[in-house]
Amino acid sequence: MEKLIITAAICGAEVLKEHNPAVPYTVAEIVREAKSAHEAGASIIHLHVRWDDGTPTQDKGRFKECIDAIKAVVPDIIILPSTGGAVGMTNDERLQPTELDIEMATLDCGTCNFGGDDVFTNTENTIKYFGQRMIERGIKPELEVFDKSMIEMALRLAKKGFISPPFHFDFVMGVNGGIGGDIRDFAFLRGSIPEGATYTVAGIGRYEFPLAALSIIDGGHVRVGFEDNVYLSRGVLAKSNGELVAKVVRLARELGREIATPAEARRILGLAK
């Protein structure tokens, strides 16, 4: 079984300091959280960026500032910028991080209701546009799927040349409007991806650690972090992203999985750099 790749989604676009005071907004805070996650065992930082007041942005300059600052402290880490951005952003606004020198980026594979009137829109043409951009720039997509239909969309567009194998999926589970986070849901998604594909599981809220354990046992990979969950255990706020990563490391050791370094993660994912 391959070593476990841990991704830390350190801030997201929606979670606020009101939910947990340790949620990072500023460049210094983002570096602090990336460092804590890396030191605990994360080999990938899934990165959204904010302005200092917490407003989410896809501004290329802000991404570059944050990536450069993270790399100055943890130079070997893999940075995985979001092209999801926040609800209501345009395609070109969301794609700004792909103009930078990055190894990976997220590619959302379908539209999802996020509660109330919020709709996270990813039309077929949007997915094609994003996929083609990543092929042109040699960026490996992490295929974000919130339901099984999004796996089918990714595989269909791959046959048309818009997404290149080998595939790496991220099962985002427990989101309002998406698939649930139970064992049957995990088994459904896991059984729907092709042989040779890799996958990460991102359980939202209370699903984070139970799904992490399932993925560890099955040979998949794990995403944790403030974007998905701000609690270390029921009612106990995590003090840092590093605390969440460290809990996964403890689970992995109990279950017999070793933790991948960034260099080992690059090999497992087939990254060129």
What is the reported pLDDT for 41?
98
Locate the DSSP E strands across 62-151. Answer: 78-81, 104-108, 112-113, 119-120, 140-145
Q: Give the other-Cβ count within 10 Å of 217's Cβ.
A: 14
Q: Please give the torsion angle defined by the CA atoms of residues 206, 194, 156 and 224, in that order, rounded to the nearest 10 degrees.
A: 20
DSSP tally for the chain: helices H, then strands E: 9, 14
Instruction: Give the largest Cα separation in the chain, rounded.
Output: 47
Q: Which residues contact 55 (CB under 8 A, 6 or more apart)?
A: none
pLDDT in tens, 170-212: 999 999 999 999 999 999 999 999 999 999 999 999 999 999 9
pLDDT for res 118 = 86
As a whole number of angstroms, the distance between CA 122 and CA 128 comes to: 10
Answer CATH for 6-269 from 3.40.640.10, 3.20.20.70, 3.40.350.10, 3.30.870.10:
3.20.20.70
> Tens of pLDDT along 239-251?
999 999 999 999 9
Q: What is the pLDDT of residue 86?
A: 79
> What is the pLDDT averaged over residues 259-268?
98
Check pLDDT > 90 for residue 114.
no
Question: DSSP strand E in the chain: where?
Answer: 6-9, 44-47, 49-50, 56-57, 78-81, 104-108, 112-113, 119-120, 140-145, 168-173, 198-203, 221-224, 231-233, 236-237
